Structure 1
Amino acid sequence: MLRSSSSISRLPLDFLAYKYFADLNNSKLAVQQSLALIGFINPSRRLCDSLTSEFSFPYDLISSINTCFSVLACKKIHAQVIKTLNYRDGFIGDRLVSLYTKLDHLQYAQNLFDEMPDKDLVSWNSLISGFSKKGELINCLNALYRMRLEMGLGPNEVTLICILSACTDTGAFLEGVYIHGIAVKTGLINETKLVNSLINIYGKFGCLDLARLLFSTMQEPSLVSWNSIILVFVENGVSDEAVRMFNMMKRVGVNPDQATIVTLLQGCGDIGIINLAETMHGYILRAGLDENIAITTSMLSLYSKSGKLDSSKMLFEGMKDPDRIAWTAMIGGYSMHGRGKEAIKYFDLMVKRGLKPDHVTFTHLLSACSHSGLLIEGKRYFDTMSSVYGVEPKLDHYSCMVDLFGRSSCLKEAHDLIKKMPMEPNHGVWGALLNACRISNNVELGKEVAEKLFILNPYDQRNYVMLSNIYSAAGHYNDALKIKSLMKKRGVVRTVGCSFIEHRNKIHRFVVGDRSHQETHGFYLKLDELIKKIEVVGYKPMTKLVLHDVNEDVKVEMIKEHSEKLAIAFGLLVTEEGVPLVITKNLRICGDCHSMAKFVSLTEAREIIIRDVKRFHHFANGLCSCGDYW
């Protein structure tokens, strides 16, 4: 039975399309003529051929839906369905709902859905899935509520996975917990794919214990499950736990895939431990995965993040046909190690080989110029990236340039560049300018920039700490205390500085003034010995970097127990002579620890490699690879 024209008029139809078949008889021939007129069937096709099958018309519609890329065409199909099928073919109605949401016409999708007479669970899932892909969590939840209230339908695995995806995308943690509760009540909590989604959302919000607990309740975790829990640990900076899960995964007989290896290599790179990098490389070779370009690229990135840039270079040179991502990874490696000229060399070679750089390539290139003080080169590449290489500058590129100007003591140029930006600057750009204010000791501009950052990201502790440090360095201790009070009032927690060093396949972690390690007595004695030795050759504690209003003796003791110094002392105590020390710091290395490492590398004849949150520092013979520019 056809709908009345009044019912049709309430729908978002294309009436020009409708008029082509409104006056025709509802026959298969009329249907085919209609389709031919509005361009969905080739007019040259023999109409009698399509009439030999009972289902030719739905097939033609489905084909049209699958190739539809405009809302106008979607409305034409919509009109045909109303006139000829009366939505009795729910599959086509579901497809149309999905198509409207895909084309960002959510209200049309809702209207069409409401007009469908025979809605089943698949229909509701089509609507919820479409809303989910657009991040429309409220619409997803409303549909779930209506589905249960109006139709008496309970959700299935697909329903809840779609809603959890929207919860993750929109940062709706409590709503995700609510969906978890529904999964438990409906008995769906044993569905593997649904548990994977729950692990993912808990991981996104840093609830590692809940993610771990959910994983442990799975009777037979799939490969995707293992990949999910490994990714959760990597994304939350607990890469040693990710490595443990990987080893457990192998023990139970689950073979990793490319996603597993690439994720784990990323996590190992975050730790930056050489032995772990070499262990992973050995596994890749034994598993025959060394020909996989994505895995090899991740491996060379891991080597560069572990301080072994020469190993990265060897891997890269052994690649048969490195792609743009591999070239970009090498440029990024040289950037991280402060070797800007080598980064430029690889960029020029990449272009000569006919590979087109993208925005990521330029981010690494401009960062390399910033870390090496290559102001002229950085300006040249920034000015030509659009006109010569067809890459429009994005926020990351402006952030790199502001950082480059700031490190080069060109604070005015940095500020002027921000004023000329064609888009609104984000927290990364303003953060680079705030750091430039710190370098130039500009309190007034620093305060102004920090206020902008407090609005953009009120819970980022780095902005408060940096402004507090600017005040303290200028002797404005009362203002610094006010900033610390503001942090406390807003519930902003300051990240504790810590340093890591690997010894005998174990990662040792140190924080300032650490007394928890079993070797505490030994490495503190070693630290006292080191301080006395390097003072003889010219080391003096930079107590001005202690941003507290306390007397000089207290400042000396406070700066003496920084985590980098403890890690250096421990490394010298437990390793053989001549073995390089590789240390990872979760924050930027301070000036005094930088000075101390240079002197220790001289007196102990040791290479010391420290990777901080920004870059690598290679200390040898009393010098640093950064040239004291970082």
Structure 2
Amino acid sequence: MKYGVLEEVKVVNALINWYGKAGDLSSSCKLFEDLSVKNVVSWNTMIVVYLQNGLAEEGLGCFNVSRAVGNKADHAAFLAVLRVCEAIGAVKVAQGIHGMILCCGFNANMCITTALLDLYAKLGRLEDSSKVFLEIISPDSMAWTAMLAAYATHGYGRDAIRHFELMVDHYGISPDHVTFTHLLSACSHSGLVDEGKHYFETMLERYRVEPRLDHYSCMVDLMGRSGFLQEAYGLIKEMPMEPSSGVWGALLGACRVYGDTKLGKEAAERLFELEPCDGRNYIMLANIYSASGQWKDASRVRNLMKLKGLVRASGCSYIEHGNKIHKFVVGDWSHPESEKIQKKLKEIRKKMKKELGYKSRTEFVLHDVDEDVKEEMINQHSEKIAMAFGLLVISPMEPIIIRKNLRICGDCHETAKAISLMEERRLIIRDSKRFHHFSEGSCSCRDYW
């Protein structure tokens, strides 16, 4: 201001970016509004600033206004708006942006097409990711790795391995540490223990890639998920570097699955030292105790959470319909169609009991309450409400795609399998760990997650 350079657009753009990264959104907005001549960089910077401050929809609005005032979207604009689409989680918006990319001739841009295939994968559209990848004339290592990551997060381990072998052996692309992280993750999500061990052992010998923390975390997760808890623990002890929270978290997750309270307690205590303010670790340990009937220990851990002022994240599920993202929480009656949704839920439960002889798996309710209370609690999980809503409004020709912020519970997983069989529908549910594809009564994870 003193030197009178606040009309220098490059200086102001840098300030907008700086304030945005510092979390001072109001200052970024004021600088942007006061700028008499805004260039495309100014608009692109504001899109990213909105996104960084948790206002993805405003970022999308900024992109639309930029085009309306005559700015031609460039490389940076498309990369920014693709990140916005991921945050919003709207497939239709992503498809619209894809159309713009084609019209503007950016479909030959490797960075944009890689970001696009990554976006489709994260929105549950693995088939669209594959189409985008196949349309790339000469994919580079980043595009190959992005497609590998897509297979990994959707739990298609065999496809990920075939993709990796094609990438390395046929096209001569050299894998890096990121490639191996996704490859080992794919093996972990699919229970491919021998394959995972093979690639972990050969990544240094054959490909000259030094194992990093992420790779050890994947291997601990792989062995832990498969029930080899002591082997996973042994690998942690042999690591040439200090185990990270990701490594101990993988072991703690496996202890929860297999009910190993002793090893789970040790993993949790290490996590408490590394991440004293992360409530998820306390919840995980409390759940391990609850599952084994150690209610006093579970209560002690939850009380420790309260003393530290840590709050458990509420479970919520999201589903797209009618150009809108619908959000549901446990026992949600706030939606305008709640009565229809609850009626559909009752129909589903009745049909499951009659046709499949299904009984609610109340062991997943980790509270010391009566069985009928447990059943009522588990029947009102957010993903079940979202499934019922999807059955009401989503065309039978389209898959029902649901996003959840927490791990899907076993009863909801069984319900989704039953719906896919009884209603002859495809369901795709993304939880905090991975995608689950439900069809004809089975899940792509093969009940292994």
TM-score range, shorter chain: over 0.9
Name the CA shift for 1:342/1:198 in 2 (closer, same or farther; >3 Å): same
**Conserved in 1, the CA contact under 8 Å of 2:268 and 2:285?**
yes
- The SS at the match of 2:331 is coil
Matched, 1:263 2:263: no
Offset at 1:241?
A: 4.0
**Conserved in 1, the CA contact under 8 Å of 2:282 and 2:305?**
yes
Query: 1:627 maps to which residue?
Result: 446
- The SS at the match of 2:429 is strand
Query: 1:584 maps to which residue?
Result: 403
- Correspondence for 1:303 among 120, 126, 131: 120
Name the CA shift for 1:282/1:483 in 2 (closer, same or farther; >3 Å): same
**Conserved in 2, the CA contact under 8 Å of 1:196 and 1:228?**
yes
Name the CA shift for 1:241/1:511 in 2 (closer, same or farther; >3 Å): farther
Matched, 1:194 2:23: no
Question: 1:136-177 CA deviation, whole Å, 9 max, x = no partner?
Answer: xxxxxxxxxxxxxxxxxx99799xxxxxxxxxxxxxxxxxxx
Query: 1:8 maps to which residue?
Result: none
Name the CA shift for 1:235/1:412 in 2 (closer, same or farther; >3 Å): farther
- The SS at the match of 1:617 is strand
- Correspondence for 2:66 among 249, 256, 261: 249
CA distance in 2, matches of 1:515, 1:429: 39
Name the CA shift for 1:363/1:195 in 2 (closer, same or farther; >3 Å): same
Offset at 1:215?
A: 6.5
Query: 1:517 maps to which residue?
Result: 335
Offset at 1:620?
A: 1.1
**Conserved in 1, the CA contact under 8 Å of 2:17 and 2:49?**
no
CA distance in 1, matches of 2:212, 2:319: 36
Offset at 1:261?
A: 1.7
The sequence identity of aligned pairs, in percent, is 53
- The SS at the match of 1:576 is coil
Matched, 1:405 2:239: no
| TM-score between the two structures when normalised by the length of structure 1 | 0.67
Name the CA shift for 1:543/1:256 in 2 (closer, same or farther; >3 Å): same
Q: Residues 378-393 of structure 1: matches in 2 within 5 Å?
A: 378-393=196-211
| TM-score between the two structures when normalised by the length of structure 2 | 0.92
One-letter amino acid matched to 1:544:
E
Offset at 1:471?
A: 1.2
Name the CA shift for 1:389/1:481 in 2 (closer, same or farther; >3 Å): same
CA distance in 2, matches of 1:617, 1:477: 31
Name the CA shift for 1:452/1:554 in 2 (closer, same or farther; >3 Å): same
- The SS at the match of 2:108 is coil
Q: Residues 174-573 of structure 1: matches in 2 within 5 Å?
A: 191-202=12-23, 210=26, 214=30, 217-220=33-36, 222-235=39-52, 238-352=55-169, 353-536=171-354, 537-573=356-392
Offset at 1:280?
A: 1.7
Query: 1:70 maps to which residue?
Result: none
CA distance in 2, matches of 1:482, 1:225: 52
Offset at 1:310?
A: 2.0
**Conserved in 2, the CA contact under 8 Å of 1:258 and 1:295?**
yes
One-letter amino acid matched to 2:363:
K
CA distance in 1, matches of 2:336, 2:242: 51
Offset at 1:605?
A: 1.1
One-letter amino acid matched to 1:370:
S
Matched, 1:598 2:424: no
Question: 1:22-46 CA deviation, whole Å, 9 max, x = no partner?
Answer: xxxxxxxxxxxxxxxxxxxxxxxxx
CA distance in 2, matches of 1:211, 1:426: 37
One-letter amino acid matched to 1:298:
A
Query: 1:64 maps to which residue?
Result: none
CA distance in 1, matches of 2:55, 2:226: 35
Offset at 1:394?
A: 0.6
**Conserved in 2, the CA contact under 8 Å of 1:335 and 1:364?**
yes
Offset at 1:616?
A: 1.1
**Conserved in 1, the CA contact under 8 Å of 2:319 and 2:403?**
yes
Question: 1:208-231 CA deviation, whole Å, 9 max, x = no partner?
Answer: x64775567544555444334433
- The SS at the match of 1:290 is helix
**Conserved in 1, the CA contact under 8 Å of 2:191 and 2:448?**
yes
The structure whose RCO (Cα within 8 Å, separation 6+) is larger is 2
CA distance in 2, matches of 1:472, 1:307: 33
Name the CA shift for 1:156/1:325 in 2 (closer, same or farther; >3 Å): farther
CA distance in 1, matches of 2:438, 2:226: 22
Q: Residues 602-621 of structure 1: matches in 2 within 5 Å?
A: 602-621=421-440
- The SS at the match of 1:385 is helix
One-letter amino acid matched to 2:242:
E
CA distance in 2, matches of 1:542, 1:212: 51
Root-mean-square deviation (CA, aligned residues, Å) is 2.3
**Conserved in 2, the CA contact under 8 Å of 1:196 and 1:225?**
no
Offset at 1:294?
A: 0.4
CA distance in 1, matches of 2:195, 2:93: 36
One-letter amino acid matched to 1:587:
L
Please identify the structure whose Cα radius of gyration is greater: 1
Offset at 1:555?
A: 0.8
Runs (5+) with no aligned partner, structure 2: none
One-letter amino acid matched to 1:351:
V
**Conserved in 1, the CA contact under 8 Å of 2:15 and 2:28?**
no
Question: 1:305-347 CA deviation, whole Å, 9 max, x = no partner?
Answer: 2222222222212111100000001111111111111101111
CA distance in 2, matches of 1:157, 1:384: 60
Offset at 1:427?
A: 0.7
Equivalenced residues, count: 442
- The SS at the match of 1:254 is coil
Deviates more, 1:350-359 or 1:378-387: 350-359
**Conserved in 2, the CA contact under 8 Å of 1:272 and 1:307?**
no
CA distance in 2, matches of 1:604, 1:334: 27
Question: 1:557-580 CA deviation, whole Å, 9 max, x = no partner?
Answer: 111111111111111112333432
CA distance in 2, matches of 1:532, 1:330: 41
- The SS at the match of 1:517 is coil
Name the CA shift for 1:327/1:605 in 2 (closer, same or farther; >3 Å): same
Question: 1:4-59 CA deviation, whole Å, 9 max, x = no partner?
Answer: xxxxxxxxxxxxxxxxxxxxxxxxxxxxxxxxxxxxxxxxxxxxxxxxxxxxxxxx
CA distance in 1, matches of 2:314, 2:202: 41
CA distance in 1, matches of 2:145, 2:307: 43
CA distance in 2, matches of 1:211, 1:591: 47
Offset at 1:474?
A: 1.2
**Conserved in 1, the CA contact under 8 Å of 2:164 and 2:183?**
yes
**Conserved in 2, the CA contact under 8 Å of 1:262 and 1:298?**
yes
CA distance in 2, matches of 1:539, 1:381: 41
Offset at 1:615?
A: 1.2
**Conserved in 2, the CA contact under 8 Å of 1:331 and 1:343?**
yes
